[in-house]
Amino acid sequence: MSNPRSLDPFFAPESVAVVGASTRASSVGYAVFRNLLFGGKHSDDRDRGFHGEVWGVNPKGGELLGEPLYASLTALPAAPDLVVVAIPPQFIPGTLTEAAGLGTRAMIVISAGFAELGAEGKALQDALARQAAELGVRLIGPNCLGVIRPSLQLNASFAAASPAPGRIGLLSQSGALVTGLISCCERERFGLSAAVSLGAKADVEDEDVLRWLADDDETGCLAIYMEALTDPAGFISAALAISPSKPIVAIKGGTTAAGAQAASSHTGSLAGSVAAYRAAFAQTGVLEATTVGEFLAWARALAYQPPAPGERVAILTNAGGPGVLAADAATRRGLTLAELAPATRERLDAVLPSVWSHGNPVDVIGDADSERYGRALEILFEAPEVDAIVLIMTEQAMTDPLETAAAIAEVHERLGGTKPLVASFIGLDGTPVGAYLDERGVPEISLPELAVAAIDGSVRRGRWLRRTPAPPPSLDLPAPNLGAARAHLDAARAAGQTNLDLALAREVLAACGLPYNYSGTATDANEAAKVAAEMGFPVVVKLISPDVVHKSDVGGVVLDVIDADGVRAACAKIRQRVAEHDPEARITGFTIEEQIKGTEVIVGMSRDPSFGPLLMVGMGGIFVEVYKDVAFRLLPLTRRDALDVIDEVRAQALFDGARNQPVLNRDELAEVLLRVSALVEAYPEIRELDVNPLVITRRGLVAIDARVVIGEGEPAHA
Amino acid sequence: MSNPRSLDPFFAPESVAVVGASTRASSVGYAVFRNLLFGGKHSDDRDRGFHGEVWGVNPKGGELLGEPLYASLTALPAAPDLVVVAIPPQFIPGTLTEAAGLGTRAMIVISAGFAELGAEGKALQDALARQAAELGVRLIGPNCLGVIRPSLQLNASFAAASPAPGRIGLLSQSGALVTGLISCCERERFGLSAAVSLGAKADVEDEDVLRWLADDDETGCLAIYMEALTDPAGFISAALAISPSKPIVAIKGGTTAAGAQAASSHTGSLAGSVAAYRAAFAQTGVLEATTVGEFLAWARALAYQPPAPGERVAILTNAGGPGVLAADAATRRGLTLAELAPATRERLDAVLPSVWSHGNPVDVIGDADSERYGRALEILFEAPEVDAIVLIMTEQAMTDPLETAAAIAEVHERLGGTKPLVASFIGLDGTPVGAYLDERGVPEISLPELAVAAIDGSVRRGRWLRRTPAPPPSLDLPAPNLGAARAHLDAARAAGQTNLDLALAREVLAACGLPYNYSGTATDANEAAKVAAEMGFPVVVKLISPDVVHKSDVGGVVLDVIDADGVRAACAKIRQRVAEHDPEARITGFTIEEQIKGTEVIVGMSRDPSFGPLLMVGMGGIFVEVYKDVAFRLLPLTRRDALDVIDEVRAQALFDGARNQPVLNRDELAEVLLRVSALVEAYPEIRELDVNPLVITRRGLVAIDARVVIGEGEPAHA
């Protein structure tokens, strides 16, 4: 983790030099120089450009856009705080040395021609990074769009325009998305505190920018687009540090197979699994948006409005249909519509026409003027049963949206700040109405479902901020004995096992205190029949083989065995099936287990190539494949994480004992997850681990099967 | 079904009179009169108003907006083709008589004060409807926004503005949504062929307007907002008639509990179940949108672009990140990204820089100029492996979006029409770029996920148009004997049963040819043991009681019974449990059934209050409650419908034999659905029917349980 202050010259320079300022109008160097002078391509006004010094450097000298061009950095009137480079790669190391010699501490390399071209380019890039580190110069890029700091009118990029100053700090792995979102800012009239595209990240990483934005008073919300993190651990520690004080909204590109393929072709880097990203976001309080519309809506709500103090949303509307659609959208997002208290209804009765909806949505009727809107909004701001407000208006011939906007802004100025307010003047974003509200801190979002999405962002943020450490459990699970588990694992390694046989896998997990069904082993059919008779029927007979990972696939499992003859028949059947499926596989014996029925849970651990150990919990059996009702967290796990991930499983009704099934003790399942987490932390040689199924019974959770795969040790990511 | 031509005077009058044209600027009558004269509240230009005659009627006479006011309809220079009424309800019958006397055949009643006020208002409304019918006058309203026909600059409404002429015909149950969408039209620069809000529908119904729009050459796509249909059968027959020639897009308000409650408060009418609406849409080819954004995107794509001839989508972009996000959005929507043919790649190689993505998304790189875009688009239009195109652009300092738009429009003009094209110039809708494309028939939609949504609309429409009747099945199910089923049902009614006991329910369904498991009945435990021994173990023992509907709930089912003693024990246990749960329930015997295991399907029928018999199929067992993986269709069912509804179940992997389970014969399940449909049609006294579970076995489907509830007969809806 570097000192965030070392990034100051990128965002608050007093002088900027463009090396490669070119008179060719289609060149990047020309575009950057012009942006610095005028703010954007559509501006000819020097007052809209950067107010500090802007110097162009071009060995040919001459003039550009009325400014002199200097032959080199050393020819400048003074040392520039920031150097922006748009020249062929081979000339950049010399420029870097020259800049460092002058005392410059920050450089943006716009030029492409590095890692994206393959091994040779990667070597060039690594050399540049080393050189910058040695010279004490921070470097953004190469192959990037640049940096924009709207409050200083600093557009050190080749974006077409600079957004208005605002409170959203945008960091994007895609420069093109920055340019697109700047266009959205212009149209929707909201602003950014900063926009950064890091390109190939030779030096400055996401983490650096996140920490800088976290300290930046202008930034109210961090908004990130990412495809693949190059330093997941750095991102996680930064996000954990920032989330309690500032909201972070993320959109991840490549969350589907087709998208991931496109991203891989785009960035050339291998992303971790989508599940690992989701887990990282969930554990660090990062709100993950699915669409660009949701991303912008969340960023706007969180940058300008407070988090919701609770879950209850009120919809204020002059339009019945859009109110209904907003209620639908809210419900689909899992939001709760506030139930209006009698006192609130009475207050509304006093200011609304008698035909108002008398409920939530609060329909103030199509002809509502600004005064009626203002009074109703005031009442909802003051209603303790309302935690968040979506305000909808459609224009009619008899009403004036701008007057209504003014009334809303007045009430918001007076009563806002304790609960979030988002407005949807349908179809009127990009008009003076939308601008009026946005300039006064009330996001105005045209589509009602996106206004509801914005409020959902505030509600999620509030929920995360209210998250408290989980209380300790009251449980009577046997204490874990990690030492014993380690001894079993060492024994397996010594015996050359990588896929532990079932008996050993059970012993490892039983040593961790996981509750197992009654079980015994036997080397032949007669012994198996004896073991089963002692245990009681029905039983399950399973193959023991060091050579078979998925016993079911070779027919190595026989269920519903009801007597001793059945056990002998099952052993014979298993021998026969294994001989058919995998004649090489050794059969070292049979496991005989108490047959347990009930709702099946799966707990698993795999290793993500980027994020390290990844824990999974969900519904087991055939349904894990069909409905994919599983949720993930990165290790290590807190007890809060463990309880949260259990809550993410969709089939909560099954946990709650639907149809007279036993009820899950969530504390017990959380404890299982924590013990698996502790085991994997203690024994990094575990590559994969499954407890499947883990059955919910009246005597608690009972594990039936286990799979443990060990390999070379690998330290878990922090 | 009325004659659609009777609606002509609403959409193409030569003269319009406003009764209630008021000099009070905040009145509805003023607003309507002003809209007719000037087109909208922000216009002062008579050239933007209606070009036919516009007359104001006000008993006080005088002048309004430079036009004379006439004291009555009879004082007008001629009989108006259309009369718009904005006066108190008690004066409307007289106005109607007067208008009819002059020969007017169409009236819009804007005034509120009818059915929404309760029984008295409803009586007034019904009387008005009767009067209109007697006088041969078609009546839109009361309590409506009015009618807009942009191509004639006819704005007979109190909307704030009139949209540009276009190809989307909008019919909305919410007037406010019309006004909001008109604002969207203005901002996004697309147009409408007509906009109608029917209000309380005393006379003119959705069906009438749909049929009129279907015949209207200006209308390319019908777009409907509805909360509750007053005439579901009329809607269904109209939609079935229209869908083959014109696309219909619908958005239904009140699809969630909170939304339905809001809608009920809004319209006062009882909507049918959401499942019934979904079924009606699916069976009539209506595309149901979930959000306003999707609704507009689909309507724009379908009104201006052809349906997609196949499923394969190409994404053309100058922006890597947005291309990735578009690919993600496409995948989430179930769209297929086209795999580019070698020939297409070669053609692209020839016109694109070497660093292009070499795949789909086709990334033409940030600095792509209009020529590069045009050439790449041309190649994708000509590529036979591409069925639909989403084009994305973000503006950069070196590129000119308007030039690119021009190049796109040129290629579209030349090669478009065979596959749909939608553009997303991110953040540039509402600018001249968006207007340029929309005016040339290429929808330009700012958010990339909504551009993808638009293309998804074209793909769905194409898929529906390619739908063919299902081929006949090859099956050996026993022939149904509806006569025998009827006899069993008659016997049950004669015996006073409303919930048929299991044995009888099985006989009904077995008569329809549904395959059942082996089963027998017994009156006591010893007889049950004997029956089971003849059948073979394991068996299931079930209660027979005329007083119990859900046997499981009273403990009336015992599974896994493995011998004769077990059968006796099971009978005793059932007696004991029933005595505990429901001491009044009579126990008339026991059913003993072959125990069948496997994937469980549920087939059910219930009656929707609006739509009549509604068929359900999905995954059975505990999972029907937890994952709600079921799909619905209205009866009667075609074989195509039956196969389609089976395809809607999410757990297709279970049908396909996941984990070595038996594979479902979809033809066989379709046949079961068709037989249930035929039974319900033949015997309308069946109120509810469940076959649950229906198990997928290696010998085919085997039904295990059945529930049939009969009541008073009710004819099925057509």
Beta carbons of B357 and A262 less than 8 Å apart: yes
Distance from CA of B321 to the nearest CA of A (A): 5
Joined tokens for residue A289: 């948006």
Residues B337, B276 within the same domain: no
pLDDT value of position B718? 38
Looking at residue A363, its pLDDT comes to 95
- More reliable by pLDDT, B503 or B376: B376
Asked if residue B473 is part of any domain, the answer here is: no
Distance CA A599, CA A663 (A): 9
- Please calculate the CA angle B487-B490-B493 and round it to the nearest 5 degrees: 155
In the A/B pair of chains, how many CB contacts fall below 8 A?
Answer: 316
| Of A291, A249, A253, A658, the residue nearest A464 (C-alpha) | A249
For residue B236, what is the domain's CATH number? 3.40.50.261
Confirm whether B269 is domain-assigned. yes
The CA-CA-CA angle for residues B12, B17, B23, to 5°, reads 135
What does the CA dihedral B341, B344, B349, B353 come to, rounded to 10 degrees?
A: -100
Beta partners for residue A544, in sequence order: A589
- Which CATH number covers residue B623? 3.30.470.20
Residue A250: list chain B partners with CB under 8 A. Answer: none
Choice among A187-201, A392-406, A558-572, B98-112 with the minimum mean pLDDT: A558-572
State residue A501's pLDDT score: 82
DSSP H or E run through B418: none
Q: Which residue of B has its CA nearest to A428?
A: B183
Mean of pLDDT values over B645-658? 92
CA-angle at A643, arms to A639 and A649, nearest 5° = 150
Determine contact, residues B157/B143, Cβ cutoff 8 Å. Answer: no
B606 shares a domain with B487: yes
Residue A73, phi-psi category: left (phi > 0), alpha (psi -120 to 50), beta (remainder): alpha
From residue A434, how far is each of A263, A398, A423, A425, B332 by CA, in Å? 34, 19, 9, 7, 31
Percent of chain B with pLDDT over 70: 98
Helices B482-494 & B502-511 angle (0-180, nearest 10)? 160
Residue A659 lies inside a defined structural domain of this protein: yes
Q: Does residue B471 form part of some domain? A: no
Q: Is A510 within a domain?
A: no
* Domain region containing B491: 478-517+596-718
**How confident is the model over A303-307, as a mean pLDDT?**
98
Report angle CA A266, B393, A65 to the nearest 5 degrees.
100
pLDDT mean across residues, chain A: 92
* Residue burial A483-522, b: 16+ Cβ < 10 Å; e: rest: eebbebbeebeeeebebbbbbbbbbbbbbbbbbbbebbbb
- Report CB contact under 8 Å: A331, B257: yes
Chain B neighbors of A259, CB-CB under 8 A: 324-325, 327-328, 331
- Stretch B669-696: mean pLDDT, rounded? 94
Q: Which of B155, B227, B292 to mutate to test the interface with A (most CBs of A within 10 A)?
A: B292
A266 in the same domain as A320: no
For residue A336, the model assigns a pLDDT of: 97
- Give phi and psi for A709, each to the nearest 5: -120, 125
A30 lies in some domain: yes
Q: Give mean pLDDT, residues A653-669.
A: 90
Q: CA-nearest residue of chain A to B628?
A: A651
Assigned token pair, B137: 């006058």
CATH of the domain at A566: 3.30.1490.20
pLDDT tier for residue A716 given thresholds of 50, 70 and 90: very low
pLDDT mean over A199-217: 95
Find the angle CA(A23)-CA(A26)-CA(A31) to the nearest 5 degrees: 70
Q: Could you say which of A578, A594, A610 is where a domain stops?
A: A594
Nearest to B542, CA basis, from B562, B516, B527, B522? B522
pLDDT in tens, B205-234: 999 999 999 999 999 999 999 998 888 999
> Of the candidates B262, B447, B450, which has its C-beta nearest A324's C-beta?
B262
Task: Give A309-342 pLDDT, tens digit per residue.
Answer: 999 999 999 999 999 999 999 999 999 999 999 9
- B344-351: average pLDDT: 98
Cross-chain Cβ contact B327/A261 below 8 Å: yes
> Which of A640, A642, A703 is CA-nearest to residue A512?
A703
Give the pLDDT confidence of B35-70 residue by residue, as tens digits: 999 999 999 999 999 999 999 999 999 999 999 999
More reliable by pLDDT, B654 or A150 = A150
**Chosen domain end from B425, B444, B465:** B465
B591 and B602 part of one domain? no
Segment B259-282 shows an average pLDDT of: 80
Q: Report pLDDT digits (tens) over A632-658.
A: 999 999 999 999 999 999 999 989 988
Q: Which residues of A touch B427 (CB under 8 A)?
A: 180-187
Burial B78-92 (b: 16+ CB within 10 A, else e): ebbbbbbbbbebeeb
pLDDT at A272 over 80: no
Find the radius of gyration of the CA atoms of chain A.
Answer: 31
Whether the per-residue pLDDT at B267 is higher than 70: the answer is: no
Query: What share of chain A in percent tops pLDDT 90?
Result: 75
Do A374 and A404 sit in the same domain of this protein?
A: yes
Q: Which bin fits B92, alpha (ψ -120 to 50), beta or left (φ > 0)?
A: alpha
Flag whether pLDDT at B120 surpasses 80.
yes
What's the mean pLDDT when you consider all of chain B?
A: 92
Report the gap between the CA of A264 and the closest CA in chain B (Å). Answer: 9
Residues on chain A touching B161 (C-beta within 8 angstroms)? 395
Scanning every residue of chain A, which has its alpha carbon at the shortest distance from the alpha carbon of B397? A160
Nearest to B254 among A324, A357, A359 (CB): A324
- Domain boundary (A557, A579, A594) is at A594
Give the C-alpha separation, B28 to A418, whole Å: 38
Average pLDDT for B541-563? 85
Asked whether residue A378 falls in the same domain as residue A252, the answer is no
Q: What is the mean pLDDT of residues A44-57?
A: 96
Residues B362 and B319 in one domain: yes
Query: Does residue B149 share a domain with residue B65?
Result: yes
A327 and A456 fall within a common domain:
yes
Q: Domain total for chain A?
A: 4
- Sequence-ordered list of residues with C-beta below 8 angstroms from that of B15, at least 6 positions apart, any chain: B52, B53, B54, B55, B78, B79, B80, B81, B82
A695 and A577, same domain (yes or no): no
For residues A494-519, average pLDDT:
88
- Inside any domain, residue B472: no
Q: Provide φ and ψ at B606, rounded to 5°.
A: -135, 175
Asked if pLDDT for residue A714 goes beyond 60, the answer is: no
Question: B325–A253: do the CB atoms touch at under 8 Å?
Answer: yes
- Å from A679 to nearest chain B CA? 30
pLDDT of residue B716: 42
pLDDT tens figures, A357-387: 999 999 998 889 999 999 999 999 999 999 9
- Name every residue whose Cβ is closer than 8 Å to that of residue A544 and which is 6 or more positions away in sequence: A501, A502, A503, A521, A587, A588, A589, A590, A591
- Asked if residues B137 and B107 have their Cβ atoms less than 8 Å apart, the reply is yes
Region A535-541: mean pLDDT is 86
Based on the fold, state whether residues B164 and B233 are members of the same structural domain.
yes
Asked whether residue B122 falls in the same domain as residue B231, the answer is yes
Interface touch A324/B28, C-beta < 8 Å:
no
DSSP strand E in A620-685: where?
A: 630-634
% of chain A exceeding 70 in pLDDT: 98
Question: If you average pLDDT over residues B151-175, what whole number do you get?
Answer: 95
**Inside any domain, residue B470:** no
For residue B171, what are the CA distances in angstroms to A324, A499, B182? 17, 64, 12
Q: With CB atoms and an 8 Å threshold, state whether A292 touches B324.
A: no
* 3-state SS class at B472: coil
